[in-house]
Amino acid sequence: MFQHRRFRVGTRLRQLAVIGVFMALFSAASCGGDDAVRSSSADEAATATSSATAAVASESPRKPSPTPTPTPVVTTEVVTETEPIPFERVTKEDPTLPTGTSEVSVAGVEGVRTFTYEVELTDGVETARTLIDEKVTTKPVAEVTVVGTYEEPEPEPEPEPEPDGSCDPNYSGCVPIDSDVDCAGGSGNGPSYVDGPVTVTGTDIYGLDSDGDGVGCES
Q: What is the mean pLDDT of the chain?
A: 79
Distance CA 48, CA 25 (A): 12
Q: Is the pLDDT of residue 165 over 90?
A: no
Model pLDDT, residue 58 = 54
Region 195-218: what's the mean pLDDT?
86
Q: Give DSSP secondary structure letters for the chain.
A: -HHHHHHHHHHHHHHHHHHHHHHHHHHHHHT-S-HHHHHHHHHHHHHHHHHHHHHHHHTSPPPPPPPPPPPPPEEEEEEEEEEEEPPPEEEEEEEEEETT-EEEEE--B-EEEEEEEEEEEETTEEEEEEEEEEEEEE--B-EEEEEEEE-PPPPPPPPPPPP-TTB-TTBSS-PBPSS-EEETTSS---SEEE-S-EEBSS--TT---TTSSSEE---
Instruction: Answer whether the bond into residue 70 is a cis peptide, omega within 30°.
Output: no
Each residue of 84-129: pLDDT tens digit? 999 999 999 999 999 999 999 999 999 999 999 999 999 999 999 9
Per-residue pLDDT tens for 43-76?
Answer: 554 555 555 555 545 555 567 778 888 899 999 9
Weakest-pLDDT range from 100-109, 146-155, 177-186? 177-186
pTM of this prediction?
Answer: 0.41
